Structure 1
Amino acid sequence: MSQIRSRAVRIDKSGGPEEMKVVEVTVGEPGPGEIRIRHHAVGLNFIDVYQRTGLYPFPMPLQLGMEGAGVVEAVGAGVTHLKIGDRAAYASQPPGAYCDVRVMPAKCVCKLPDGISFETGAAMMLKGLTAQYLLRKTLPVEGLQRGDFVLFHAAAGGVGQIACQWARELGLQLIGTAGSDAKCALAKANGAAHVINYNTEDFLVRVKEITGGQGVKVVYDSVGKDTWDKSLDCLRPFGLMASFGNSSGSPAPFAPGLLGPKGSIYVTRQTLFTHIATRESTQAMADELFAVVASGKVKINIDQRYKLEDVQQAHRDLEARKTTGSTILTL
């Protein structure tokens, strides 16, 4: 059994960015259903913060990171969709992407088309697959048609920028919120039909103005506590409140009875890992993402790059909302 040395970012207990340490680890051979991949770049996501702080608990010590891109170095028994030398990218459980080399389940790893760079691959998988399942699979009971209004919070973030572009391609009227005029301009430049600075405007009032009092068919919300109550009131009858994160904290518990008077509305809490639970669904979603990126209709904006050794600063900037678009760690 060959042993390979690799740098990896690990925490021994939950806490702040200072808990992350770059350590040297030993990487062995892949077992059945696994591959070994050597990363060229690694993606940074808010879920990494949730795991680091313990909001999403994991056994310790924990190696962080949920997405990356690189070259397949070894393939375990039973893996047929990848071979040694393949360019590949993934968003996947379990965590562990913040490293040079890792052994991991092959199920969620996809061949990366030649026309897409490793950096783009690392930056796009988790956010791009999230945008895919939101806009293409997390739909109101009446569906979405061209011209329909949807509200997307944190529209200048990594998922938001992809969603703005993809929604424009689908003919949707995406109303994007962000916390500054500069971030609103970014969302607008990426295809948002309307933008709202929620620090200077009441987004509920503006949504009702924009939609002629009708409201939106869907709210896509990764913010949580700070946007929850007003978001419910932004929905038209039979609308869908689609929660997929809680960067401001979890919303307060609510009584289902309030959904009736608000228009018989629906509420769902989505997570990417349900959608990519099988090899087949992962590949189908990735194929659609790769196609829309390769076509140029969706551009992956990498606005920040940090070295692996600077991961603490990367997390500080992410939590302080200093980042826009996608962020990667370079190796």
Structure 2
Amino acid sequence: MRAVRMEAPGGPEAMTVIDVPTPEPGPGQVRVRHEAMGLNFIDIYQRTGLYPLPCPTGLGLEGAGVVEAIGEGVTRFKLGDRIAYASGPVGAYAEAHVVEAARAVHVPDEIPLPVAAGVMLKGMTAEYLVRRTFHVKQGQVILVHAAAGGVGQILCQWAKGIGATVIGTVGSPEKATLARTRGCDHTILYRDEDIAARVREITDGKGVAVAYDSVGATTFEASLASLSRRGMLVIFGNASGPVPPFDPLRLSRGGSLFVTRPTLFDYIATTEELDDSAAALFAEIASGRVKIEIGRTFRLEDIREAHRTMESRETTGSSILVP
């Protein structure tokens, strides 16, 4: 089968597509023949070495397809089942992949497999952020950075469906228009406007209950300054680089603030948590409350272009690879 491999961390050129033996599932595992694979910023962090991987290695954590081989002891799936996964192991950038049966989920018939491939990681991230890290409630005002991005669009729609007022930051007027169609009540052009000042203006000086920040270094100060008393800053990505060290005393001075740095894998640590998160996500999509945009589709051979496009922020919504 064809698969992406990387000999050492680096830029997009570090990735190559080669022929490798098709893997066989061991006990408790299944092999999925991919219909599509997800593209995510965590893949870039792993490629560059920000999140180190032992090399040589494959890349990619997310995919969807049909079960074509089953290892010993697996009862969760049968041959031909439509499944998806989002927690690896790394190596999803391939025509097929072996995964632990306990870490994959059934995909309902009403959810197309390419949508599942592009939404599992982003969608379950939105699920735990809005329902568990900070339980957004009707009437609250929230701030979502990168509101036109893959997680941002889902997060905005989900929070809007709950009844929250959503403020989103975006990089261009075009992305602002898109974000408003995905649940944003207010948009802020972060390159042109003072984010915290605009948030205070929109909220009559009160600030937001929670700021969801996947950007990191360049938005940290604005996020803190946008919070209401006892507000929470949820940092769940580092698109602009990691947040530098800071004095915790700032949190008390800012109004007894909270800062947390969660990761999806701690919220889907058990099979039960995984199933519950995926079920909640699929229910939101099936209801129409959350609409999923597949922004770009790349062939496996175009993986370098795919990463360059993601890094330059030219994509909106979810992007996928196809074999």
Residue 29 of structure 1 and its aligned partner are, at CA, apart by: 2.2
Q: The residue matched to 2:253 in structure 1 has which SS?
A: coil
Alpha-carbon distance in 2 for matches of 1:37, 1:27: 11
Alpha-carbon distance in 1 for matches of 2:287, 2:75: 27
Aligned pairs for 1:72-91 (under 5 A) are 72-91=67-86
Residue 165 of structure 1 and its aligned partner are, at CA, apart by: 1.1
* Per-residue deviation, residues 72-99 of structure 1 (Å, max 9, x unmatched): 1122233222111100111013211100
Alpha-carbon distance in 1 for matches of 2:54, 2:11: 17
Instruction: Give the alignment partner of residue 306 of structure 1, picking from 298, 308, 319.
Output: 298
Alpha-carbon distance in 1 for matches of 2:47, 2:141: 35
Question: What is aligned with 1:50?
Answer: 45
Residue 256 of structure 1 and its aligned partner are, at CA, apart by: 0.9
Q: What is the number of equivalent residue pairs in this alignment?
A: 323
Question: What is aligned with 2:17?
Answer: 22
Do residues 192 (structure 1) and 191 (structure 2) align?
no
Instruction: Give the alignment partner of residue 174 of structure 2, picking from 159, 174, 182.
Output: 182
Question: What is aligned with 1:36?
Answer: 31
Alpha-carbon distance in 1 for matches of 2:143, 2:280: 22
Letter in 2 for 1:212: D
Residue 184 of structure 1 and its aligned partner are, at CA, apart by: 1.1
Alpha-carbon distance in 1 for matches of 2:74, 2:216: 39
Runs in 1 of length 4+ with deviation above 4 angstroms? none
Residue 299 of structure 1 and its aligned partner are, at CA, apart by: 1.0
Alpha-carbon distance in 1 for matches of 2:99, 2:200: 47
Letter in 1 for 2:203: T
* Per-residue deviation, residues 44-78 of structure 1 (Å, max 9, x unmatched): 00100000000000100110111111001122233
**2:76–2:102 Cα contact (<8 Å) kept:** no
Residue 257 of structure 1 and its aligned partner are, at CA, apart by: 1.2
Instruction: Give the alignment partner of residue 120 of structure 1, picking from 106, 115, 121.
Output: 115
Please, which runs of 5 or more residues in structure 1 have no aligned partner? 1-5
Q: CA RMSD in A?
A: 0.9
Residue 13 of structure 1 and its aligned partner are, at CA, apart by: 0.5
Question: What is aligned with 1:169?
Answer: 161
Alpha-carbon distance in 2 for matches of 1:105, 1:205: 47
* Per-residue deviation, residues 131-173 of structure 1 (Å, max 9, x unmatched): 000001111xxx5321100100000000011111111111111
Instruction: Give the alignment partner of residue 3 of structure 2, picking from 1, 8, 26.
Output: 8
* Per-residue deviation, residues 212-265 of structure 1 (Å, max 9, x unmatched): 100000010000000001211111111111000010001110011111010001
Letter in 1 for 2:314: K
Aligned pairs for 1:253-264 (under 5 A) are 253-264=245-256
**2:29–2:70 Cα contact (<8 Å) kept:** yes
Alpha-carbon distance in 2 for matches of 1:182, 1:284: 35
Residue 27 of structure 1 and its aligned partner are, at CA, apart by: 2.3
Question: What is aligned with 1:221?
Answer: 213
Q: The residue matched to 1:260 in structure 2 has which SS?
A: helix
Question: What is aligned with 1:133?
Answer: 128
Question: What is aligned with 1:3?
Answer: none
Instruction: Give the alignment partner of residue 67 of structure 1, picking from 49, 62, 74.
Output: 62
Instruction: Give the alignment partner of residue 278 of structure 1, picking from 249, 270, 275.
Output: 270
**1:27–1:103 Cα contact (<8 Å) kept:** no
Letter in 2 for 1:250: P
**1:306–1:328 Cα contact (<8 Å) kept:** yes
Q: The residue matched to 1:306 in structure 2 has which SS?
A: strand
**2:146–2:215 Cα contact (<8 Å) kept:** yes
Question: What is aligned with 2:282?
Answer: 290
Residue 300 of structure 1 and its aligned partner are, at CA, apart by: 0.8
Question: What is aligned with 1:104?
Answer: 99
* Per-residue deviation, residues 246-302 of structure 1 (Å, max 9, x unmatched): 100011100111110100011100101111111110000001001111111111100
Alpha-carbon distance in 2 for matches of 1:115, 1:287: 13
Please, which runs of 5 or more residues in structure 2 have no aligned partner? none
Q: The residue matched to 2:102 in structure 1 has which SS?
A: coil
**1:93–1:273 Cα contact (<8 Å) kept:** no
Alpha-carbon distance in 2 for matches of 1:117, 1:279: 22
Question: What is aligned with 1:232?
Answer: 224
Alpha-carbon distance in 2 for matches of 1:226, 1:255: 17
Alpha-carbon distance in 1 for matches of 2:136, 2:315: 30
**2:32–2:69 Cα contact (<8 Å) kept:** yes
